[in-house]
């Protein structure tokens, strides 16, 4: 008799499959995982005649290319995947993005869509932008008048969607870009509704109305400044304004000692995921936003002899040895982490859970927050300290900053160095 742990590694646990004769750990009824997966997919994707229609053949082939045992677990332990595949089969429609948009549950469909895109079954699509475009009609439905709906629709289309559609295909809309656009549109909708309840409209609103709006409790009331500025510029409103608050208050920073303590923690934290360590070090040493670290490509890493370079800007940056080793470790881990599409054929330095996609910036941010690393204060501090040693033009070339942005940071550092030092001295020590 063998216990479960011993049986898993014992030769007796591997037997020939009754269908393909492959010697492996059988799944059930004498079938290996691959044969069992094929039977399950035939059952889920079968049409009225009991066979898989030709339009779903590429879908079945894509799913069969996954690891059989994790795929079986995904299909048999969660209700979402079988429901989505059965709905796809019952629709009778060709497999398109439009078909998937109507299927539920959304998380399962997004995961399946990524695998189909990576496998070439579906063409690539900017998913964040597509989700935003599907959401807009529901938001517009909250407005009672056609005039308000048309104004908010034009704002969304020509101010946000036009800008996002101009992004290169290699850099689709990020989660945070879509979130910012959604918040602006929500604030615009709320302001238009509030003005109607007040007995006026966007076209007739005065600064007195706007001041009353700002004294309210709606949490996005200052975010509506983008919509108000757009409306005034396009003659949909009188000369009204909402002050922007983004520059109010002291710049969030961290202490010099705290910054280097976090760097040491990431350099020597063998217990931490390599992706978290690399993203944190790029933030604390090179002021790289988490969103950029998440979308680093393998082609940005080059090696010349013992030196490792990372192209953050127009001039590749030589990485110090500990960070270079971490980056090379990530290059060597080519497989993604998802059940579907675990293929080395992807361009990302840090692959995500969905096939063919990088890790999400939100996931990296959560990992860094758990270590006490807040992205904005850390990046502000790094940029201020780098401008002390490097001229703006060098900073722009090395870090991928716009030259105007680099010059603004240099001016900010020079103008506020005394204030910055005073603020750091007064901050309580965050270390335990």
Range(s) of the domain holding residue 162:
127-233
Domain end among 118, 141, 171: 118
pLDDT in tens, 121-166: 999 899 999 999 999 999 999 999 999 999 999 999 999 999 999 8
Domain end among 233, 266, 295: 233
Positive or negative torsion for Cα 231, 234, 239, 242: positive
- How far is it, in rounded angstroms, from Cα 259 to Cα 265? 10
pLDDT in tens, 239-268: 999 987 654 456 788 888 999 999 999 999
Evaluate if residue 416 carries a pLDDT over 60: no
Contact present, 374 and 252 (Cβ < 8 Å): yes
Shared-domain flag, residues 102 and 202: no
**What six digits make up the tokens of 128?**
């964040």
Task: Count the domains in the chain.
Answer: 3
Mean pLDDT of 348-364: 84
Shared-domain flag, residues 332 and 418: yes
Beta bridge partners of 16: 23
Within-domain flag for 243: no
- CA-based angle 417:423:265, to the nearest 5? 95
- How far is it, in rounded angstroms, from Cα 179 to Cα 184? 9
- Categorize the per-residue pLDDT at 432 as very low, low, confident or very high, splitting at 50, 70 and 90: very low
What is the CATH classification number for the domain harbouring 274? 1.10.443
What letter does residue 160 receive in the DSSP assignment?
Answer: I
Within-domain flag for 262: yes
Side-chain half-sphere of 213: how many Cα atoms within 13 Å? 31
**What six digits make up the tokens of 147?**
């005039």
- How far is it, in rounded angstroms, from Cα 331 to Cα 328? 5
Domain end among 118, 141, 161: 118
Backbone angles phi, psi at 357, to 5 degrees: -120, 150
Shared-domain flag, residues 287 and 410: yes
Contact present, 173 and 179 (Cβ < 8 Å): no
Percent of the chain scoring above 90 in pLDDT: 51
pLDDT in tens, 82-113: 999 999 999 989 999 999 999 988 889 988 99
pTM summary value: 0.74
Contact present, 53 and 41 (Cβ < 8 Å): no
Shared-domain flag, residues 164 and 279: no
Instruction: List, in sequence order, the alpha helices (H) in 30-155.
Output: 33-45, 57-64, 68-77, 80-91, 97-101, 106-118, 127-140, 146-155
């Amino acid at each position: 008799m063998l216990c479960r742990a011993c049986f898993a590694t014992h030769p007796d646990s591997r037997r020939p499959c009754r269908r393909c004769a492959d010697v492996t750990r059988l799944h059930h009824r004498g079938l290996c995982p691959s044969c069992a997966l094929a039977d399950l997919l035939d059952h889920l994707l079968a049409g009225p005649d009991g066979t898989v229609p030709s339009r779903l053949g590429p879908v079945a082939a894509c799913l069969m290319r996954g690891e059989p045992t994790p795929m079986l677990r995904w299909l048999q332990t969660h209700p979402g995947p079988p429901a989505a595949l059965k709905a796809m089969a019952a629709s009778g429609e060709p497999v398109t993005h439009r078909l998937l948009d109507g299927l539920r549950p959304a998380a399962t469909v997004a995961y399946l869509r990524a695998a189909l895109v990576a496998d070439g079954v579906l063409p690539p699509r900017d998913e964040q932008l597509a989700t935003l475009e599907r959401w807009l009609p529901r938001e517009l439905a909250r407005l009672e008048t056609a005039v308000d709906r048309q104004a908010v629709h034009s704002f969304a289309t020509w101010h946000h969607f036009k800008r996002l559609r101009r992004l290169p295909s290699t850099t689709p809309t990020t989660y945070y870009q879509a979130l910012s656009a959604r918040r602006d549109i929500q604030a615009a909708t709320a302001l238009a509704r509030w003005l109607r309840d007040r007995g006026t409209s966007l076209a007739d609103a005065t600064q007195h109305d706007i001041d009353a709006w700002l004294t309210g409790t709606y949490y996005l009331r200052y975010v509506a400044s983008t919509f108000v500025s757009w409306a005034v510029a396009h003659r949909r409103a009188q000369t009204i304004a909402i002050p922007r608050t983004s520059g109010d208050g002291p710049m969030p920073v961290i202490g010099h000692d705290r910054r280097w303590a976090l760097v040491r923690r990431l350099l020597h934290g063998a217990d931490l995921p390599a992706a978290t360590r690399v993203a944190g070090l790029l933030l604390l040493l090179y002021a790289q936003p988490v969103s950029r670290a998440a979308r680093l490509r393998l082609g940005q890493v080059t090696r010349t002899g013992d030196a490792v370079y990372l192209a953050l800007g127009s001039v590749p940056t030589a990485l110090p040895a500990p960070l270079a080793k971490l980056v090379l470790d990530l290059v060597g881990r080519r497989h993604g982490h998802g059940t579907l599409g675990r293929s080395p054929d992807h361009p990302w330095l840090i692959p995500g859970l969905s096939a063919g996609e990088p890790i999400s910036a939100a996931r990296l941010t959560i990992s860094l927050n758990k270590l006490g690393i807040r992205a904005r204060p850390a990046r502000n501090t790094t940029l201020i300290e780098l401008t002390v040693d490097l001229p703006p033009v060098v900073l722009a070339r090395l870090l991928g900053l716009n030259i105007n942005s680099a010059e603004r940071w240099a001016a900010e550092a020079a103008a506020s160095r005394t204030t910055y030092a005073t603020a750091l001295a007064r901050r309580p020590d965050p270390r335990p």
